[in-house]
Chain A
Amino acid sequence: MNEVIVVTSGKGGVGKTTTAANIGTGLAMLGKKVVVVDTDIGLRNLDVVMGLENRIVYNLVDVIYGNCRLKQALIRDKRYNNLYLLPSAQTKDKTAVTPEQMIKLTEELSSHFEYVILDCPAGIEQGFKNAIAGASRAVVVTTPEVSAIRDADRIIGLLEANDVNQIELIINRIRPDMIQKGDMMSVDDVIEILAIRLLGIVPDDQQIVIATNQGVPLSGNHSPAEQGYLNICRRITGEEVPFLNFNMKKGIFRKMTELFRN
């Protein structure tokens, strides 16, 4: 069955767009037919993260207004021919589209693609309502910080109220060293507070910045963050994958390095 998944967070800057790009690319790597949709009208970014900014002719608003056919607005990825991007408009704002129009659009997309990944704007206003209107499943992205978790909790409540019933959590930018020292909430702490199913964890990783700079998500550098995203994609397809372990016990090497540091 084809799925429409919205990537959302409430708070801005926690990694929604990066997550949407990586999930889209990862699912395409697994051989799925995927479209990633940038629903952030007026502040489009998914195109640059995916390195497709120079290929945009038409956008989501053009499709909804009937200025072009859906196929004309879809941009094929550079590396995977089963991955497409529907870019957002840069000149309009969130009120250009209604939730009803978004439902119609996602229905059409899900008849052509196995996975429709919607990149949701920050906030809980019109843009958020548009993005979740057609979604059957949600991925909530958060970081282990009080502000991001508080907003994630609010978003989970709103998703439930809008009948998005399958809600899963991604904890982004985990710093194992800080968790070890007790200066960051652990994965278990965050799950306990938000009380939803964990889809995956992504460690804080310079490689993500580099991949975003280059516009090439999941470039195959085997970094911990890339591994985290690949595991998430396999879990989305229903596979059971063990979680990356960041609750490492103090081994002899770690004890030695700490000894020298003090």
Chain B
Amino acid sequence: MLFMTRNGSQKRRKSGSVARSRLKNVLLSERMDCSTDTMQMMQNDLVQAMDKYLPVDKKGIQVQFQQNPPMVLARIPILQEKDYQRDYVKTI
């Protein structure tokens, strides 16, 4: 993951915090006995459900577990109107 530092150069995220967030995710899915495959299936179902009603950006979806309090966080971006219309036009 990349972010900008004060002097404007791009720098890698510190490995300590990478380890921390990777561990948190893997442990939560292990504790709940919910594998990454299951997560993927859940994500696909969520998208399908949403897609019936809203133009969803399928590539930008992120589903994550969070500890304390335990919850599932889904980040589902909605396509902007112009993208949506362009898509719509293309399909015609």
Contact = CB atoms under 8 A, between A and B. Distances in A.
Interface string A176-188: 0011011111100
Contacts of B24: 193
Interface residues of A, number: 18
Contacts of A150: 23, 26-27, 30
A77 interface: no
Contact of A185 (B20, B26, B30): B20
B8 interface: no
B22 A146 contact: yes
Given A153-B30, A157-B31, A179 B16 contact: yes
Given A146-B22, A149-B23, 12 more contacts: A149-B27, A153-B31, A154-B30, A157-B31, A182-B16, A183-B14, A184-B15, A185-B19, A185-B20, A189-B16, A192-B67, A193-B20
Contacts of B23: 146, 149-150, 185, 193
A140 B40 CA distance: 33
B33 to A, nearest CB: 11
Interface in B47-74: 67
A150 B26 CA distance: 8
Main secondary structure of the interface of A (DSSP, over half): helix
B5 interface: no
A182 B67 CA distance: 22
A154 B17 CA distance: 21
Contacts of B20: 185, 189, 193
Contacts of B67: 192-193
**Residue of B14, B16, B24, B31 ringed by the most chain A CB atoms within 10 A:** B16
Contact of B17 (A145, A146, A153, A182): A182
A186 B67 CA distance: 18
A183 B16 contact: yes
**Residue of A145, A179, A186, A189 ringed by the most chain B CB atoms within 10 A:** A189
Contacts of B22: 146
Contact of B16 (A153, A154, A157, A184): A184
A184 B18 CA distance: 10
